[in-house]
Structure 1
Amino acid sequence: MSGVAGRISTVAAAIVLITLISSCGLVGGKETRVTESSHEIRDQCNRTLNFFENILGITDTAIGYGSINPEDKIDRGAMCTVTKSSVGVGGTRLSAMLSPDSEPAPVRGDPSYIAQTGYDDKVWLNQSPGSVRIYTTVDGWEGSLDLNVDQINQVSITSGEQPNFEVSDHEVRAAAKFLIELTRELT
């Protein structure tokens, strides 16, 4: 009887071990591991500001670092806010994902985010007359870009300018490509 009991406990131990290994993502599928970026937040913000000014043509913008030190590393995630007259008008966010196959949390189950085609990586778009939000996933990282058209035009009004900022389909496509490159290069 002790021989049978020993074999049963050995089989039970093997089943437990296999279950533990597979639940940790080491067998089958992609390994889920969180990585860290050694790039500085300043790198992300400089690229974001350059895109807003030179590609989108939004003038008189700056980076609102707040209490964030621009020399800090992105590590597992960082946010960059673009301001115009000290008002946040958009920005980017990078964050490591726990599961490389999952959709970003804001996209999951939200029908206003539409999956886009024609890109090497997954892209979702939520566009209304007043804002554009884009998400992408690249190599286990999530990137997002927000552009608040209403805020840009409101700041223009308070500055005595004509509120005429609109986002074209070409600019949306350029923003998605920029976000993919930013996510890929800084993570």
Structure 2
Amino acid sequence: MDKTALEILEKVNSFYSASFSQLLTITLGLVAFIGVFVPVLTTYYQNRNIKIEKENLEEFINNKLESIKLEVTKEIRDELLNDLSEFEDKQKSQIEKVIAGVFYVQANAQLNKGFYKNAADSLFSAIVSSIKGKDELNLLRAFKLLIDRAIPNITQKEEPDFVALEERIESIEKELAPLNANGRYSDTIRDLIKAKNVLIKKLTDQE
């Protein structure tokens, strides 16, 4: 074999040896990258997603909690009673008495803070629940607070709705009809209407 052919063979062998070494190095590098860095990156990505999902869930829960009203409302009362349709009338009556008590306590707190319109709304709700619960003792107490303290002290600043006020009084008259068979609440209703008329005149004259 001549010298030129030998040199060619040596160069070819050297080329393939170098290429194989480079391929081996690249392969080992890829194996190391996949075996070490990819799991680390995957774990980091998963943890990051979990953290984001956790923060989103916490924000969602907090928003929901913020939207819940602590104040008992007529809608909650109606929904509660609908869910308890299997209860007997006596049990429903007891529930209405409890709800009336909650509204009555709430009204007292509002009166003490000078929120007379809100107190009137609470007392109207207390009256409705007292009627449904046939709790005439607390019914009279709620009427007295409504007539003597809440309605007379409502101010223009509280933006009273006279139409809504008259509608609520008319509704109370209808609700009260079964208990007023002998007319024992006629004077109370008359006093309530009088308090409403005095309030309307007072606030109208101020305009």
- TM-score for the superposition, normalised by structure 2: 0.27
- TM-score for the superposition, normalised by structure 1: 0.29
Which structure carries more relative contact order (alpha carbon 8 Å, separation 6+)? 1
The structure carrying a bigger helix percent of its residues is 2
The structure carrying a bigger strand percent of its residues is 1
